[in-house]
Amino acid sequence: MKIYNSLSRQLEDFVPLNPEQVSIYSCGPTVYDYIHMGNARTALVTDIVRRYLVYRGYKVKLVQNLTDIDDKIINRAAELGVSAKQLAHQNGEAFFEDSQRLGIHCADVHPKATEHIPEMISLIQTLIDKGAAYVIDGSVYYRVNQFAEYGKLSGRKPEDLLAGARVEVDERKEDPRDFDMWKAAKPGEPAWESPWGKGRPGWHIECSAMAMKHLGETIDIHAGGEDLLFPHHENEIAQSELATGRTFARYWMHIAFLKIDGRRMGKSEHNFILLRDALDHYPTEVIRHFLISAHYRHPLDYNPESLAKSEGALRRLNNCLDALKKYEGGKDGVPSSNLDRETLPLQEAIQTMKSRFVEAMDTDFNTAQALGAIFTLVGEVNRSLATFDGAAAPVFARAYQVLTETCGVLGIYDMDAEDDNNVEQRDQLIALLLDVRQEARSRKDWDTSDKIRDRLKELNIEIQDTRDGATWKIIS
Ligand SMILES: [Zn+2]
């Protein structure tokens, strides 16, 4: 497997530190509001990275934090006239609810910043003891010039950093690049006791402390949105590596922005679509398909046309899997009859699809190509379903198995929904109608037979008469 490492700016072979367990830390949301589709892209990619590693036989420990104390939370809470704690709690719950609706599996640990204040204080103290931090008026600053490798992730040179940092000069800092790890309390703001007086942690120290507490001093994969690369991740590295003397994260993955009308979707841009609103309009699988229809390092545009394309693709996939489902659990293998030669292209297509899927995902989780492989096979299966009947059942059973397995990794096929009571009842009703129609046909009552066929077609259910009797499928 290869992962593009933002640190080395190249594809690298993926070799976890501990072959038994891959550790992943993903920067979670600052819970001052609901998450938007751009945030959802980052969360979904992390979910798929984890699912795929599990599919490839790894054990994975995923930690995704909640930043539940921050300027944004304090300001928003003041606007709304609620406490910062209450606002963070509500939005934290909403985040879990939205993630679950998008089919994102819970991380192994969801640490909250406010529950890790002692760890943050201890890490800051270590940095002070090493001469890498200084205290001014109850705030603690990181001394950037103590870390020779500062800038290695973002590739920014000291002079660029100085120019950038001058925008918000704090005269008290020794160097404009220095950043705060502990903020002295301001009246009315939430604050915790510390050796430097009452205050609260800075955002960067939160992630360093939570990542190391739950995953150790060195983690395998650190993931986050590309907007976090600088300064957040650069600062996480500086704090963690100076404190421990070890590599903090071995592979840095950055997920590209979601765009809307050609601009980055973001709260600050006032052009965002909330995930929960999108989920009210589109099924989970359609949104998942859309969000992974481009490779995670490439930009992706949110627009109704793209979502309509994903809807169409999902309809094709579901029709195909519905048609294949009846072969599920059938004898897996090759047909023994003379169909053997005729179904050979389909057998080969199944094999090709599986290797293309693995190759795509092994190459930096290329979901766009993985979807391409899946939909090529869907096309092949649809052609074969029209040609072959039950005699090709073993090949169809194999196709069903491979498709559900790979779609399961991407989370674009909800097998549970298929077992839904409604679906079961629908299938039984259609079977009943087909029986009635068959009886009518045997009486040569063509009017009734045609009426059933036509009325079902109005309901987007198409009947096909085959040698083995009538079958049906859902059409768009
Ligand atoms: Zn973070």
- CATH number of the domain within which 368 lies: 1.20.120.640
**Kindly report the CA angle at 429 between 428 and 435, in degrees rounded to 5?**
90
Whether residues 89 and 187 fall in one domain: yes
- The CA-based dihedral angle spanning residues 368, 371, 372, 373, taken in that order and rounded to the nearest 10 degrees: 130
Whether residues 158 and 272 fall in one domain: yes
Residue 229 lies in a domain: yes
For 13-22, what is each residue's pLDDT tens digit?
A: 999 999 989 9
Residue 231 lies in a domain: yes
Whether residues 7 and 46 fall in one domain: yes
The reported pLDDT for the residue numbered 426 is 82
For 35-65, what is each residue's pLDDT tens digit?
A: 999 999 999 999 999 999 999 999 999 999 9
**Kindly report the CA angle at 189 between 185 and 194, in degrees rounded to 5?**
35
Structural domain count of the chain = 3
CA-closest candidate to residue 411, choices 376, 371, 364: 371
Whether residues 137 and 212 fall in one domain: yes
- Strands 219-225, 22-26: pairing kind: parallel
Q: What domain range includes position 275?
A: 2-281
pLDDT above 80: residue 387: yes
- Strands 139-142, 133-136: pairing kind: antiparallel
Whether residues 370 and 314 fall in one domain: yes
For 312-361, what is each residue's pLDDT tens digit?
A: 999 999 999 999 998 887 665 555 556 677 888 899 999 999 999 999 99
Residue 434 Cα to ligand 1 midpoint, Å, equals 57
Do 349 and 377 touch, CB atoms closer than 8 A? yes
* Domain boundary pick from 371, 386, 418: 418
Residue 28 Cα to ligand 1 midpoint, Å, equals 7
The reported pLDDT for the residue numbered 305 is 96
For 183-217, what is each residue's pLDDT tens digit?
A: 999 999 999 999 999 999 999 999 999 999 999 99
Residue 79 Cα to ligand 1 midpoint, Å, equals 25
- Residues 6 or more apart whose Cβ sits within 8 Å of residue 225: 27, 38, 39, 41, 42, 254, 255, 257
Residue 289 lies in a domain: no
Residue 232 Cα to ligand 1 midpoint, Å, equals 6
Neighbours of ion ligand 1 (CB under 5 A): 27, 207
Whether residues 159 and 210 fall in one domain: yes
Whether residues 260 and 393 fall in one domain: no
Whether residues 237 and 271 fall in one domain: yes
Residue 253 Cα to ligand 1 midpoint, Å, equals 12
* Domain boundary pick from 218, 253, 281: 281
Quote the pTM value: 0.85
Residue 233 Cα to ligand 1 midpoint, Å, equals 7
Residue 6 Cα to ligand 1 midpoint, Å, equals 15
pLDDT above 60: residue 459: yes
* Torsional sign, CA 347, 348, 353, 355: positive
Residue 207 Cα to ligand 1 midpoint, Å, equals 5
Residue 180 Cα to ligand 1 midpoint, Å, equals 15
Residue 20 lies in a domain: yes
Residue 230 Cα to ligand 1 midpoint, Å, equals 11
Residue 115 Cα to ligand 1 midpoint, Å, equals 15
Tell me the H-state helices in 266-338: 275-281, 284-291, 304-325
Residue 333 lies in a domain: yes
Residue 281 Cα to ligand 1 midpoint, Å, equals 31
Of 74-83, 240-249, 358-367, 414-423, the poorest mean pLDDT is in: 414-423
Residue 315 Cα to ligand 1 midpoint, Å, equals 37
Residue 315 lies in a domain: yes
Q: What is the DSSP letter of 157?
A: -
The predicted model gives 284-288 an average pLDDT of 97
For 162-181, what is each residue's pLDDT tens digit?
A: 765 555 667 789 998 999 99
Q: Whose structure tokens read 């950037």? A: 144
Whether residues 344 and 449 fall in one domain: no
Whether residues 253 and 332 fall in one domain: no
Residue 29 Cα to ligand 1 midpoint, Å, equals 9
The reported pLDDT for the residue numbered 473 is 84
Whether residues 382 and 449 fall in one domain: no
Q: What is the DSSP letter of 329?
A: T
Residue 118 Cα to ligand 1 midpoint, Å, equals 18
CATH number assigned to the domain comprising residue 149 = 3.40.50.620
Do 251 and 153 touch, CB atoms closer than 8 A? no
CA-closest candidate to residue 375, choices 326, 313, 453, 437: 313
Residue 184 lies in a domain: yes
Residue 26 lies in a domain: yes
Do 267 and 73 touch, CB atoms closer than 8 A? no
Residue 204 Cα to ligand 1 midpoint, Å, equals 6
Whether residues 359 and 438 fall in one domain: no
* Domain boundary pick from 418, 443, 463: 418
